[in-house]
Chains A and B, each alone.
Chain A
Amino acid sequence: MPRLSAAQRHPVRFRLNGEAVEGIAEPRMLLADFIRHELGRTGTHVGCEHGVCGACTVSIDGTMARSCLTLAAQVEGCEVRTVEGLAPEPGRLSVLQAAFRRHHALQCGFCTAGILMSLDVYLRAHPAPTEPEIREVLSGHLCRCTGYAPIVRAAMDAAAELSLSTRQEDVRYV
């Protein structure tokens, strides 16, 4: 790849929630800012910009990643997933999302997108997690509203439900 000059904006292309997307960015632009303000997918939130709070967590090539600690240019050609890609279709919730709603696992909802992304990645690889394992994964996220307990319950409940079905059952809302 040629050297990208600091003084210019350069095209960045990758797949976002299964769709090819493209935008332009200075080399220094954070992935979080690119997704939100260039591509207009504002579901991913920015809480600390130093990698601690976890609100901006997305999936890059199937792994959890802080989008505030990733440059847009770094995901060129990657497969990125965000909270907007979790629901199977408009008007439906994924099993995990539905479990969150059922268990009141969110209040203000600001940190929720990142938590959902971590759990979505984790549960795909670990279909039968223990509660300490879920708490361990969640320890990379800060939530100020819920005290975490309902999030843990929602995650465990979703894992149980997912293990019962071979495909992601979905849930209607609205």
Chain B
Amino acid sequence: MGLTATMTSSARSGPWIGRSPERVEDAALLTGNGRFIDDLGVRPGTLHAAILRSPHAHADILTIDTAAARAAPGVAAVVIGPDVKALTASLVVGVKAPVECWPIAVDRVRYVGEPVAVVVASDRYKAEDALDLIEVRYAPRPSVIDPLAAIAADAPILHDGFPHNVASDRRFRYGDPEAAFAAASHRIAIDIVYPRNSCTPIETYGVVAEYSVSDDAYDILANFQGPFSIHAVISRALKLPGNRVRLRTPPDSGGSFGVKQGVFPYIVLIAAAARIAGRPVKWIEDRLEHLCASSSATNRATTLAAAVDDEGRVLALDWDQVEDCGAHLRAPEPATLYRMHGNLTGAYDIRHMSVRNRVIVTNKTPTGLNRGFGGPQVYFALERLMQRIAVELDIDPLDVIRRNLVPGNAFPYRTASGALLDSGDYAETIELGAREGGLDELKARRAAARAEGRLYGIGYTAVVEPSVSNMGYLSTVLTPAERRRAGPKNGAQATATVSIDPVGAVSVHVASVPQGQGHRTVLAQVIADVFGVAPQDVRVNTEIDTAKDAWSIASGNYSSRFAAAVAGTAKLAADRIAVRLRRIAASHLNVEASEVAFGNGKVFSRDNPDNAMPFARLAALSHWSPGSLPDAAGQTIRETVFWTPEQLAAPDDADRINSSLCHGFIFDICGVEIDRATGEVRIDRYVTAHDCGTILHPGMVDGQIRGGFGQGFGAALLEEFAYGADGSFLTGTFADYLLPTSTELPEPVIVHMQTPSPFTPLGAKGVGEGNCMSTPVCIANAVADALGEKNIVLPLVPARIRALIAGEEPPAPVGGMTAPRAKKPGGRGLEGEGSADVGAPPQAVWDMLLDPATLQAVIPGCHGVEKISDTHFRAEVTLGIGPVKGRYRAEVKLFDLDAPRAVTLSGTADGALGYGAGEGRITLTPRDDGGTTVSYTYDAEIGGKVASIGGRLLDGAARVIIGQFFAALARHAGGGAPAAGAAGGLSGWLRRLFGGAR
């Protein structure tokens, strides 16, 4: 039997909290009756948007020709940057700087995937047809991808308002770090780079927006997740007061993990498009758009040093963090950097610390919320450092952790940078995890494996998991003086409404916007316990409508705030009604209010349970006979509670900030074995011990842990948003950006301990993000242990690991055809060389190369060559391999002419599938038989769609296409045999092309 049975047949008394009933959400989701944004109906006449995106990492937009697109069938509007700029204001930028941030490129693109035009049409297919008709001319600029390169003196600048690409540079000092470093016997440091990745929900972004001229108001449905502080950003951008920007969320959302906060620029963009089109507009992001341009976690370069004594005790830390927020500093960034500011000492009792935080812009997708939010980046540095301390001082790594922990009797504990660690017993959790997780057995396995010469390692991490963010933490990026001018920011309002209808049925509404976490189930449990009813008698609504519902800037689903803040606030609301119900019941049952109890759907006298009345009857009285209720009982119809914890104060003048309300603790152990031959990492066992305070629903807590572990595992071993040196985006599909699947992902051993939080109504703490923080570095520590290696870079792809253990490569055989090429420094990525023998003398070949008619015949798929000058040609070409074909506009210029011996070609090609640019040197050598050997080398870059979705094949494709040209040239000149013994893959290709036997 289903939920009904599970919840009602359980005769056992006691609270619902702490049990794992089946979820009320699941029946609909399992039968195809979920209501995700793209499952909902829209108003008749709603149009559909598709977005044209930049193929360039950095370029000026010269012209955008939308005429053909506007004339295409079904197209209602084509919207470009200046149109949006005319209707909206710049999005708020996360720091005070003279910098603008638009949801669509205005005059200039700064990352691959930046919106350039929006087509609004009768359906998505037609909208995409029209995208193909838009002609954009770009003038590429140099781009910068690496955050450390971005702050170099000669780096290209993204925004004039961010000199040296630095959006913020702040230094902090807590205690006396200089003295501690001076006194310490060891200074141990680590340099790390944390890669870009994203928790990539399976449902993409969606927005439906319309504008009412008569009301001068927008009505927007989006699978936004909060925080609703962003509502203020949206309404400001739409140049209306918030009460004219109605933002609603659909009942179901297909995962977010922070990522759907990043839909907000598209809310502004689609709202503007709807206003321009004069009709409702719907946009559902596709996967290519999502991977390329939705949002991502920050990548970060960190240098972290510790002052350490001989016992491995850390006396001080020195952080230097360079945070890469991508091309725009979108709200709420640089929050990723500051979310952890109170927790930079992790689980450790370290009183002295200096910090330098730089926020950098680069030509990559702007960053935003992402599960773990700053935690993975911080703990990768801190926990790798703890492992290094152990290695360098020859101490057991677990002992280094133990010696530095915040002591169990020290709670609540104020960290050096201001966090108030609420509760816990970290040492006890570690002992529990080690015991239940079988650490001794793992150590024995390591010893046995090593004795056989296998590569086996064990890693540990100890992590404090902050939850319930202080809405004031971001103001730590300001100086105390700037904060005084701006006014204090602090707290975190949680809201919940409990209401009772005229038949006594209980409803709960919260502004928690879940994306699959089961909030409705847990709230039903919590409220059922208050009123003594069954959970299925409580209906919970977690949709939000900013025009009608109770909400505040902290509303939404982020920083693991549900269990700790929202569920507790709902209980407070129910408690308030319960107090009044007791008073009313007391008069009906003729007992003292304090004697009234709720249970089994009844209200009764605790002393005499037979003296009872049905809960529903009592609860409905406030509707039917308010005049006959006891004086001052008050209504029991609806109660809304706003709750903000007093501990979440604004940063003080010493820059101390209690950045989060509560702090869970995690201790992880990971055993790995590495295949020497392939470099593949196999997780032998992963143990994760959690203290997340009071557990409301054990099944869901374990679900959060497994899900976070899966994403942490992905970050450790598989996932990276890769960019080419030229800024092209290389992981645009799920075949390139790799998520863990069921065949890779092991199941972790989960261990629990419960130390309730004294600061939250239910004693619960957040648990949703911890393994995203702890798992990547725990796996890295295990691999470091297995390999005895210091420099561990994520993701731990087999080729990277193999490079650490492989040793010298056997040399190429003497006289062999090929030796491996070294990439040219400063090269553009795709390099090659080859040669072909042509049956014509050099002068004839030379003439052909400079003759438009010949070129037209020779260039594969050429639709026409226009001679601009003797050394400048323009051509329309269709290029491709296999079924992949695209039409391009090509420009070729000739340099360094040395007739008839050599010439350099420099060219570009632009088309709907992307762009290419390259340079090649062609050399003509006469042959004894009167023919010519044409040799060439090239160096090319390819960007845009083909690079982001076909990166695996690009190199080979370039070879094929360039080879086609020379093959055709050879054919045109009367055929000829390919040169034998030439270097490079193309000669082989040509050999095959000309039918040479293999």
Q: Is the CB of B2 within 8 A of A171?
A: yes
Q: How far is the CB of A172 from chain B (nearest CB, A)?
A: 5
A168 at interface by CB-CB < 8 Å: no
Q: Is the CB of A52 within 8 A of B743?
A: no
CA distance A157 to B33 in the complex (A): 24
Contact of B32 among A44, A52, A107, A135 (CB under 8 A): A44
Q: How far is the CB of A174 from chain B (nearest CB, A)?
A: 6
Within 8 A of A (CB), among B186-218: 199-204
CA distance A146 to B708 in the complex (A): 8
Q: Is the CB of A50 within 8 A of B125?
A: no
Task: Encode A8-28 as 1/0 by CB contact (under 8 A) with B.
Answer: 000000000000000000101
Within 8 A of B (CB), among A112-149: 112-113, 116, 134-136, 138-149
Contact of A97 among B20, B31, B734 (CB under 8 A): B31
Knowing that A87-B31, A110-B34, A150-B706 are A-B contacts, what are 13 other residue pairs whose CB atoms are under 8 Å apart, sorted by A's residue number? A43-B32, A44-B32, A50-B733, A50-B734, A98-B2, A107-B517, A110-B202, A138-B742, A140-B741, A144-B201, A144-B711, A144-B739, A149-B706
- 17 of the cross-chain contacts (CB-CB < 8 Å) are A45-B38, A50-B733, A52-B735, A97-B31, A101-B27, A104-B702, A107-B707, A108-B516, A109-B29, A110-B516, A134-B742, A139-B741, A139-B742, A147-B710, A148-B741, A151-B742, A174-B27
Q: Is the CB of A144 within 8 A of B33?
A: no
Within 8 A of A (CB), among B36-78: 36, 38-39
Q: Is the CB of B30 within 8 A of A106?
A: yes
CA distance A5 to B739 in the complex (A): 39
Contact of B4 among A46, A111, A172 (CB under 8 A): A172
In the bound complex, residues from chain A placing their C-beta under 8 Å from that of B741 are 138-142, 148
Q: Is the CB of B32 within 8 A of A82?
A: yes
Q: Is the CB of A101 within 8 A of B26?
A: yes
CA distance A83 to B703 in the complex (A): 23
Q: How far is the CB of A145 from chain B (nearest CB, A)?
A: 5
A84 at interface by CB-CB < 8 Å: yes
Within 8 A of A (CB), among B617-663: none
Q: Is the CB of A107 within 8 A of B742?
A: no
B286 at interface by CB-CB < 8 Å: yes
In the bound complex, residues from chain B placing their C-beta under 8 Å from that of A174 are 2-4, 27
Within 8 A of B (CB), among A46-89: 46-50, 52-53, 55, 82-84, 86-87
Given A42-B32, A112-B29, A143-B202, verify A172-B706 contact (CB < 8 Å): no
Contact of B707 among A26, A43, A147 (CB under 8 A): A147
Q: In chain A, what residue has the closest Cβ to B254?
A: A110
Q: How far is the CB of A37 from chain B (nearest CB, A)?
A: 9
CA distance A113 to B748 in the complex (A): 25
In the bound complex, residues from chain B placing their C-beta under 8 Å from that of A147 are 706-707, 709-710, 745, 747-748
CA distance A83 to B26 in the complex (A): 13
CA distance A142 to B286 in the complex (A): 16
Please list the 7 inter-chain residue pairs (A to B) with the smallest Cβ-Cβ separation, ordered nearest first.
A43-B32, A108-B516, A110-B254, A109-B29, A147-B706, A107-B516, A52-B734
CA distance A54 to B515 in the complex (A): 19
Binding site for B on A (CB under 8 A): 26, 28-29, 36, 41-50, 52-53, 55, 82-84, 86-87, 93, 97-98, 100-102, 104, 106-113, 116, 134-136, 138-152, 171-174
Q: Is the CB of B30 within 8 A of A101?
A: yes
B22 at interface by CB-CB < 8 Å: yes
Q: How far is the CB of A38 from chain B (nearest CB, A)?
A: 11
Contact of A83 among B32, B203, B707 (CB under 8 A): B32
Q: In chain A, what residue has the closest Cβ to B536?
A: A174
Q: Is the CB of A108 within 8 A of B203?
A: yes
Q: Is the CB of B700 within 8 A of A142?
A: no
Q: In chain A, what residue has the closest Cβ to B733?
A: A50
Q: In chain A, what residue has the closest Cβ to B521?
A: A104
Contact of B202 among A36, A53, A100 (CB under 8 A): A53
In the bound complex, residues from chain B placing their C-beta under 8 Å from that of A98 are 2
Contact of A109 among B30, B702, B739, B742 (CB under 8 A): B30
Tell me if B's interface is mostly helix, strand, loop or mixed: loop
Q: In chain A, what residue has the closest Cβ to B736?
A: A52
Q: Is the CB of B22 within 8 A of A111?
A: no
Given A110-B202, A139-B742, A148-B742, verify A83-B254 contact (CB < 8 Å): no
CA distance A84 to B28 in the complex (A): 10
Contact of A108 among B1, B255, B739 (CB under 8 A): B255
Contact of B27 among A47, A93, A102, A142 (CB under 8 A): A93
Q: In chain B, what residue has the closest Cβ to A97?
A: B30
Q: Is the CB of A53 within 8 A of B734?
A: yes
Q: Is the CB of B706 within 8 A of A47?
A: no
B257 at interface by CB-CB < 8 Å: yes
Q: Is the CB of A109 within 8 A of B27?
A: no
Within 8 A of A (CB), among B1-25: 1-5, 20, 22-23, 25
In the bound complex, residues from chain B placing their C-beta under 8 Å from that of A152 are 742
Q: Is the CB of B742 within 8 A of A43?
A: no
In the bound complex, residues from chain B placing their C-beta under 8 Å from that of A42 are 32, 34, 36, 38-39
Q: In chain B, what residue has the closest Cβ to A41?
A: B32
Q: How far is the CB of B731 from chain A (nearest CB, A)?
A: 13
CA distance A111 to B515 in the complex (A): 13
Q: Is the CB of B1 within 8 A of A172?
A: yes
In the bound complex, residues from chain A placing their C-beta under 8 Å from that of B22 are 101-102
Q: How far is the CB of A42 from chain B (nearest CB, A)?
A: 4
Q: Is the CB of A47 within 8 A of B709?
A: no
Q: In chain A, what residue has the closest Cβ to B41?
A: A40
Q: Is the CB of A101 within 8 A of B23?
A: yes
B252 at interface by CB-CB < 8 Å: yes
Contact of A55 among B32, B202, B710, B733 (CB under 8 A): B202
In the bound complex, residues from chain A placing their C-beta under 8 Å from that of B4 are 172-174
Within 8 A of A (CB), among B699-729: 699-700, 702-703, 706-707, 709-711
CA distance A144 to B708 in the complex (A): 9
In the bound complex, residues from chain A placing their C-beta under 8 Å from that of B38 are 36, 42, 45-46
Q: Is the CB of A50 within 8 A of B202?
A: no
In the bound complex, residues from chain B placing their C-beta under 8 Å from that of A86 are 30-32
Q: How far is the CB of B10 from chain A (nearest CB, A)?
A: 14
Q: Is the CB of A144 within 8 A of B707?
A: yes
B253 at interface by CB-CB < 8 Å: yes
Q: Is the CB of A109 within 8 A of B747?
A: no
Q: Which of A55, A116, A143, A152 neighbours the largest number of chain B CB atoms within 10 Å of its CB?
A: A143
Q: Which of B26, B255, B516 neighbours the largest number of chain A CB atoms within 10 Å of its CB?
A: B26
Q: How far is the CB of A51 from chain B (nearest CB, A)?
A: 9
Q: Is the CB of B30 within 8 A of A100?
A: yes
Q: How far is the CB of A148 from chain B (nearest CB, A)?
A: 4
Q: How far is the CB of A10 from chain B (nearest CB, A)?
A: 14
Given A28-B125, A144-B710, A174-B2, verify A107-B255 contact (CB < 8 Å): yes
Q: Is the CB of A104 within 8 A of B203?
A: no
Q: Is the CB of B31 within 8 A of A93?
A: yes
CA distance A144 to B862 in the complex (A): 46
In the bound complex, residues from chain A placing their C-beta under 8 Å from that of B887 are none
CA distance A152 to B746 in the complex (A): 11
B236 at interface by CB-CB < 8 Å: no
Task: Encode B428-440 as 1/0 by CB contact (under 8 A) with A.
Answer: 0000000000000
Q: Is the CB of A45 within 8 A of B747?
A: no
Given A147-B747, A174-B2, verify A107-B703 contact (CB < 8 Å): yes
In the bound complex, residues from chain B placing their C-beta under 8 Å from that of A82 are 32
B518 at interface by CB-CB < 8 Å: yes
Task: Encode B515-545 as 1/0 by CB contact (under 8 A) with A.
Answer: 1111000000000000000000000000000
Q: In chain A, what residue has the closest Cβ to B123?
A: A37
B921 at interface by CB-CB < 8 Å: no
In the bound complex, residues from chain B placing their C-beta under 8 Å from that of A171 are 1-2
CA distance A116 to B710 in the complex (A): 20
Q: Is the CB of B747 within 8 A of A106?
A: no
Given A104-B23, A107-B516, A142-B734, verify A149-B747 contact (CB < 8 Å): yes
Contact of B31 among A29, A84, A145 (CB under 8 A): A84
Given A43-B32, A53-B287, A108-B252, verify A148-B710 contact (CB < 8 Å): yes
Q: Which of B32, B700, B707, B741 neighbours the largest number of chain A CB atoms within 10 Å of its CB?
A: B32
In the bound complex, residues from chain B placing their C-beta under 8 Å from that of A148 are 710, 741-742, 745
